[in-house]
Amino acid sequence: MTLVEKILARASGRTRVEPGEVVVADVDLILLHDLSGYLTARVFEEKVRLPMRYPERVVMVFDHHFSPPTEEGARLLLENRAFARRYGIRLFDCGHGNIHNVAVWAGLVRPGMVVVGSDSHTPVHGTLGCFAAALGNDSHAALGFPYGKAWFRVPSTIRIELEGMPKPGVTPRDVALWLAATIGEGGAVYKALEFDGPYLRRLGFWDRWLFPLLTVDVGAKCGYMEPDEVTEAFLRSVTREPYEVVRGDPDRAYEAVWRYDVSELEPQVACPPTVGNVKPVTEVAGRPVQWAELGGHGGCRLEDIRLAARILRGRKKHPEVKFNIVPSSRSVFTQALREGLVEVLHEAGATWFPPSAGSNQAINMGAMAAGEAMISTHSRNFPGRNGSPEAKMYLASALTVAASAVAGCITDPREFLREERM
Amino acid sequence: MRFRGRCWKFGDYIPTDQIVPSHLVYRPMSEIVRHVLVNLNPEFPERVQPGDILVAGKHFGQSSGRAIAAKAIQATGIACVVAECFARTFYRNAFEIGLAILECPGISKAVQEGDVLEVDVESGWVRNETTGQELRGEPTPPFLMEMLRAGGLIPFAPRLLEEGWKA
Ligand code: SF4
């Protein structure tokens, strides 16, 4: 069995499961955010009307709001808060950061777990060797809250191996953008993606994070990496809770194995209207942008801030670009402070925002007018997510975002890095 | 489970943000329903009739996994959604709320807006009455058919836990 099959078998009290079977499994963690919590709560209290069985397994994070800009937003947060309080659910209120990054930094996610949530990027927790999946409100309300369970159809597994050494200026996010486009939107529908290979094994924990993050956009059910020393070292830095590492059996069966070499890649940009529309930066360089942002669903990781600082140290952003930095968690901000990066980016003209999900869906920030364009480290670029449907969203690495913020248009970061090496 | 209705046709890769515009997600359903898919076809929310069938292309309902997209389509009175394929979050949400949907490769080419379709969700059989063409979609797994017949996951849950599920 693969890691996912083993976790699902154990969680449903079976010795074996096969792809295609439906199982009802015990859930270890249910993650809700401010946009999903109250909706789930309403279904649970109005339609299901049963007691909450395991409130200690439910966690709520307010990440789309760091400070509600409207009365409506404030009311919605109150509704969420009251629900959390009624049931004794752990709440991370405004200002903690992006739901997934917060949960991981708090040590709540550990190998071998079954993690579910309403946010579509919930599969990102597979980075820790979990089975993690995004489910709808009704799933949590009908099975999760009252019984601590969820139903799953066991997915078949595709193994993805990445190898090779990327060129300078090509970051893990470029590789992830390219990989999502190569697999294609809907290119791995309902599969489990097992990420491995020498390229990924060389990456640190938060760079690996970008790969399970992309699974939803290619239609996969979940994505994961089997834990190794890197995973365990990271875990020890955030929690002392015990956990049990699950790995696939040596004779596990894959539906397919896909191998890619990343050595020849250029920096990549996902252009509107969808995440599948990825092009080498050289093809889109020169398109004007008025907004740049490090932030979003995958979160602005410390790695992103460090990359941006490589470009911005001693430089200024373009006067017509607004450059927003939204750390994915308070831990990330603390570390950026310690490394002096807060000052570097501030001096370059960037604006620091509170830890949150950034301008995702422009709930708390980041709306654009028709004709405006943003380049960001988000993971979505569908029209209308950030204000006008006629505004444009480009997704790129932190290097490319920073270089573009300096130039005022989409820019190949290697132009700046060349000087760095001299 | 069979449906017969006039169809509305949409394209490929439609995200949930286009089904329900992001800025409306926390408005009441009575308001959301007047904006479903409005950016792609302004006539749709105005003219959709209960029992109509929605036809879409590839990976329908991608992006955010909130069930509100499926609930909003259900609230318009659409009886059934037929697409080339669905985003998994949407697929699951639809069955959990009791909205019938069917994956049917080739459907986009086989229908024009306004054609009358007959759809059998269980077997996956689709017939375009206007042109006479028949298609074979993906049969719906028995587990999901049970959930759909029960009216969604909430009414289905007690039985599921009591009797378990042996597929
Ligand atoms: S915008 Fe991103 S973070 Fe927010 S609900 Fe959608 S997927 Fe989740």
Residue A419: pLDDT over 70: no
Q: Which residues in A lie closer than 8 A to residue B153 (C-beta atoms)?
A: 138-139, 142-143, 151
CA distances from A236 to A92, A214, A229, A301, A314 (A): 22, 26, 10, 19, 36
Percent of chain A predicted with pLDDT > 90: 87
Which pLDDT belongs to residue A421? 54
The Cα B87–Cα A75 span in angstroms is 31
Predicted model pTM: 0.91
A368 at B interface, C-beta within 8 A: no
ipTM score over 0.85, yes or no: no
For residues A288 and A370, the answer to whether their CB atoms sit within 8 Å is no
Per-residue pLDDT band for B26 (boundaries 50, 70, 90) equals: confident
Angle between helix B88-97 and helix B153-163 axes, rounded to 10 deg:
90
Read off the pLDDT of each residue in A41-52 and give the average, rounded to a whole number.
95
Q: Which residues in B lie closer than 8 A to residue A139 (C-beta atoms)?
A: 92, 96, 153
Report the b/e string of A252-266 with b at 16+ CB within 10 A. bebeeebebebeebb
Our mutation pick for probing the ligand 1 site, out of A102, A293, A361, A378, counting the most ligand atoms within 8 A of Cβ, is A361
Which pLDDT belongs to residue A216? 87
Phi, psi of A55 (to 5 degrees): -60, -25
A121 Cα nearest atom in ligand 1: 7
Q: Closest residue (by CA) to atom 1 of ligand 1? A: A360
Check CB contact under 8 Å for A136 and B97.
Answer: yes
Q: Closest residue (by CA) to atom 5 of ligand 1? A: A119
Which residues, judged by CB distance below 6 Å to any ligand atom, belong to the binding site of ligand 1? A 35, 64, 119-121, 297, 357, 360-361; B 64
Which pLDDT belongs to residue A292? 97
Per-residue pLDDT band for A189 (boundaries 50, 70, 90) equals: confident
Residue B165: pLDDT over 80: no
Read off the pLDDT of each residue in B18-40 and give the average, rounded to a whole number.
88
